[in-house]
Amino acid sequence: MTELLERIGFLQQGPFSVPRWEALFASMDLLWDGALVTLLVASLGLALALALGTIIGVMSASQWKIPRALARAYVEFYQNTPLLIQVFMIFNAIPILFTGMFIPVITIGILGVGMYHGAYIAEVVRAGIQSIGRGQLEAAISQGFGYIGAMRYIIIPQAMRVVLPPLTNQAVSLIKNTSVLAVIAGGDLMYAGDAFAGRYGHYGPTYIVVGLLYFVMCFPLARLARRLESRSKVA
Amino acid sequence: MIELVGVNKHFGLHHVLKDINLDVPSGQKLVIIGPSGSGKSTLIRCINMLEKPSSGTVTVDGIEVTAHRAPIAKVRQQVAMVFQSFNLYPHKTVLENVTLAPIVVSGVSREEATESGLRYLERVGLSEKADKYPAQLSGGQQQRVAIARALNMHPKIMLFDEPTSALDPEMIQEVLEVIIGLAQSGITMLVVTHEMGFAKEAADRVIFMDDGMILEDGTPEHFFENPQNDRTKLFLSKILR
């Protein structure tokens, strides 16, 4: 009996005790607000990443030296430096470079994850384009398409099939990576959780629930990636 | 219609075309014959600038395509190409394959492109396949669609790069018949092929290439009955047995 009480003692005291859970559930609004900010940053960040990734991916698959070199430089820079430092630089360096320029934190988040994942998506897009046989580009060019037109109407629609599963995986890590905003007071889910937990030390329940909320946002996408993958294998 | 002057092409150390001079008048049906690696495909790919000559000039319908900033895309709309491996767009239906470039590149209306596209599909005997995808067709059917796609650009010149080489033997004839039918029209045609029967039947000029040079140039009768060059004779003796 005493042994059992000792076992469930974690419910009375310690990081996961019942009062901490109660306190958290009374303040769930904070987390909901944070989750909304995370969703907003993630969806706009994803839109930016897709746009950048497509343009830069097309550039790095092209035959022209200068666009290719620019694309390579971009990808290498963003892939080989930590996201946290990139976001820190946007937050702190821009107001110095452009004196007095104020960028809302949410915009910083969108720029941060958008540009970072844009680099990864560019690599996915480049690999997708290069997986399409050379004959397709030649056929298009021989009919009078320019490079961009050939990409738009013939190469990219075919590359989409190959590219969709890894793109969905990028969306998943993009959602999780919005949590770097917490470091610069971003109002996102991670920040909201951290701020609440830090005040009274309710880290245990808060991190479990915050983790669950991230899972709920990411899991459907991860499942979608799996489904697309098996479909592109069949086709 | 097509004029090549002093055309050379190098791939690295490999000298693929050696000082080629060639004049193809409007409406001519020119067949290019030669062993593999002789430069025949490279030659016709220089005409629509899929390969850029290392030196020399190529003039198509009065436009020097080798010139700096030549309107190559415009010229390519006049010069349709049929490839050995068909290169149909697999994500588009047969009809879309035939109408895409006319609509997007040439700015023809969808109705007009569809109407003429269906007419050309009819001409290659495939109008009932208009809504199928390329993967649902046989090789011979795919190549006929590729010909319809080329025709729907209303080209002045058609380039055929070994159009039957990737086909199973029983499908070669159906494609050749379509090309022979086209040879009745006024269109200028350059055909790289190993089909000697086709050369005899449809060509009004045959050139023989080997090692990057044009070694024989004349009518089919001349080519098959009275070749001058020793290498031509050797090639023919191997092929016509």
- pLDDT of res. B37: 87
Q: Both ends of chain B: CA-CA distance in Å?
A: 36
Beta strand B157-161 with B14-24: parallel, antiparallel or unpaired?
Answer: unpaired
Check A135 against B85: CB less than 8 A apart. yes
Q: Which residues pair with B15 in a beta bridge?
A: B10
* pLDDT tens column, A151-160: 999 999 999 8
pLDDT over 70 (residue A55): yes
Q: Is residue A151 part of a domain?
A: yes
| Contact call for B76 and A144, based on CB within 8 A | yes
> Which residues, in sequence order, are CB contacts of A19 under 8 Å at separation 6+?
none
- State yes or no: pLDDT of B202 exceeds 80: yes
- Whether A189 is covered by a domain: the verdict is yes
Nearest in space to B108 (alpha carbons), one of B166, B152, B145, B150: B152
Q: How many C-beta neighbours within 10 Å does residue B240 have?
A: 8
Cβ–Cβ of B101/A135 closer than 8 Å? no
For A161, the domain range is 31-234
Pick the more confident residue, B227 or B102. Answer: B102
Q: How far apart (Å, rounded) are the C-alpha atoms in residues B212 and B9?
A: 9
Any idea which of A21-35, A43-57, B135-149 has the lowest mean pLDDT?
A21-35
Buried b (16+ CB within 10 A) or exposed e, B216-233: bbeebeebbeebeeebbe
Q: For position A115, what pLDDT does the model report?
A: 96
The total domain count for chain A is 1
User: Is the separation of the CB atoms in B80 and B155 below 8 Å?
Assistant: yes
- Domain of residue A97, CATH code: 1.10.3720.10
Q: What is the ipTM of this complex?
A: 0.91
Whether A2 shows a pLDDT value over 70: the answer reads: no
In this structure, is residue A21 part of a structural domain? no
- A30: which residues sit within 8 A by CB, 6+ positions away? A192, A195, A196
Q: Does residue A140 form part of some domain?
A: yes
How large a percentage of chain A has pLDDT more than 70?
96
- Note whether residue A13 is domain-resident: no
Mean pLDDT for the stretch of residues A14-31? 85
Q: Taking an 8 Å Cβ-Cβ cutoff, which residues of chain B contact chain A?
A: 48, 50, 73-74, 76-77, 79-81, 83, 85, 87-91, 100-101, 104-106, 149, 153
Q: Is A2 within a domain?
A: no
* Neighboring chain A residues of B74 at a CB cutoff of 8 Å: 144
Question: Looking at beta carbons, which residues of chain B come within 8 Å of A143?
Answer: 76-77, 80, 100-101, 105, 149, 153
Amino acid A1: pLDDT? 62
Angle (CA) B105 B52 B25, round 5°: 75
Residue A113 CA to residue A179 CA, distance in Å, equals 10
User: Best of B48, B74, B93, B105 to disrupt the A interface by mutation (most A CBs within 10 Å)?
Assistant: B105
Residue A11 placed within a domain = no
A125 found inside a domain: yes
User: Which chain A residues are Cβ-neighbours of B48 within 8 angstroms?
Assistant: 142
Dihedrals phi, psi of B189, to nearest 5 degrees = -125, 135
- The minimum CA-CA distance between A162 and chain B, rounded to whole Å, is 13
Give A63's pLDDT tier (boundaries 50, 70, 90): confident
Contact A153 B87 (CB under 8 A): no
Residue A84 confidence (pLDDT): 92
- Selecting from B79, B87, B105 the residue whose C-beta is nearest the C-beta of A138 gives B87
